[in-house]
Amino acid sequence: MAPAPSSTSSAVTLNINGEQHQLTVDHRTTLLDALRERLDLTGTKKGCDHGQCGACTVLVDGRRAVSCLNLAVAAEGREITTIEGMAEGGQLHPVQQAFLDLDGYQCGYCTPGQICSAIAVIEEHAAGWPSAATDDVRPEAGPPALTPDEIRERMSGNLCRCGAYVSIVQAVTRAAEDHEAAAREDDRAETVKGAAA
């Protein structure tokens, strides 16, 4: 039962995976604890609670964020996507499928954070964002190729103590290729549609 709002708690509505959740939270409650302890969305993991490991990574308005460093009361009005929201109608997200097929994990505890991060990495790269591994960051240089070095750099906010980095990079590479192929397919479909019109 949710306690009534007080000087140390507030009623909030959180938009998580497209669903509205109303709850009263202690002002100290992090988004991570709200997900895990209040909403039974335990796919988001607590590895350090200090923003150092990336296990709690979720998407906030489409961008990756460590939910342990966000307060639940500050998450109102944001569109939050957790690992539970990545599969559609029982169909795994291509990044999830790649992690599964290529064994991009071992114990699985960092995995939801890795997958949320990887989904955002592919979007960030497609949007032309450079990373510390990018040689030429001038806008006219265009987006860098998503090489293993680029993926390693962009995925380094997510620790994996089992040391599954090699297969994580393979999984992100495959998912990114699928993503690009799908984008090309969309472009082609648009062109065909345009031509038909």
Partner 1 sequence: MTTATTGRTALRGVVGTAHTRVEGRDKVTGAARYAGEIPFAGLAHGWLALSTVARGRIRSLGTESVLGMPGVLAVLHHGNAPRVDTHYIGALGFPPDPTAALFQQDRVHHVGWPVALVVAETPEQAREAAEALVVEYDVEPHDTRLTAGHPGAHPADGVLPAVTGKGDLTAGLAASAVVVDEEYTTPEEHHSMMEPHAATALWDGGRLEVVDSNQGTTWVQSELAKMFSLDESAVRVRSEHIGGGFGSKGLRAHQVAAVMAATELQRPVRVVMTRRQMFSLAGYRSPTTQRVRLGADADGRLRALEHRALSQTSTVHEFVEPSAGVARVMYDAGAHHTANHVVPLDVPSPTFMRAPGEAPGSFAIESALDELAERCGIDPVELRLRNEPAAGPVSGLPFSSRNLDACFREGARRFGWAGRDPRPGTRRDGRWLLGTGTAAASFHAGAGPSTAAVTAEADGGFTVRISAADLGTGARTALTLVAADALEVAPDRVRVRIGDSDFGPATIAGGSMGTRSWAWAVTEAGRELRERLAPGTAIPPEGITVRSDTTALVGALAQKERHSFGAQFAEVAVDTATGEVRVRRMLGIFAAGRIVNPLTARNQLVGGMVWGISMALHEEAVRDRASGGLYAPDLAGYHVATNADVGDIRADWVDDPDPDDPVGIKGVGEIGIVGAAAAVANAVAHATGVRHRHLPIRPDRVLSAAAARTGAAGA
| 106 makes contact with partner 1 (CB under 8 A) | yes
Query: Cα–Cα distance between 118 and 125 in angstroms, integer?
Result: 10
User: What is the closest distance, in whole angstroms, from the C-beta atom of residue 177 to partner 1 in the complex?
Assistant: 18
| Binds partner 1 (CB under 8 A): choice among 105, 174, 175, 179 | 105
> Between residues 87 and 181, which has the closer beta carbon with respect to partner 1?
87
Query: Cα–Cα distance between 129 and 134 in angstroms, integer?
Result: 9
Is 13 in a helix, a strand, or coil? Answer: strand
With contact defined as beta carbons under 8 Å apart, do 14 and 20 qualify? yes
User: What is the closest distance, in whole angstroms, from the C-beta atom of residue 196 to partner 1 in the complex?
Assistant: 38
User: What is the closest distance, in whole angstroms, from the C-beta atom of residue 188 to partner 1 in the complex?
Assistant: 30
Q: Write the DSSP assignment of 106-157 as a string of letters.
A: SS-SSHHHHHHHHHHHHHHHHTT---TT-S---GGG-SPP--HHHHHHHTTT
| Binds partner 1 (CB under 8 A): choice among 5, 108, 137, 181 | 108
Query: Cα–Cα distance between 26 and 46 in angstroms, integer?
Result: 18
Query: Cα–Cα distance between 183 and 178 in angstroms, integer?
Result: 9
| Binds partner 1 (CB under 8 A): choice among 2, 28, 186, 192 | 28
| 121 makes contact with partner 1 (CB under 8 A) | no
| 192 makes contact with partner 1 (CB under 8 A) | no
| Residues engaged in binding partner 1 (CB under 8 A) | 26, 28-29, 33, 36-37, 40-50, 52-53, 55, 82-84, 86-87, 92, 96-97, 99-101, 103, 105-112, 115, 133, 151-153, 155-156, 158-169
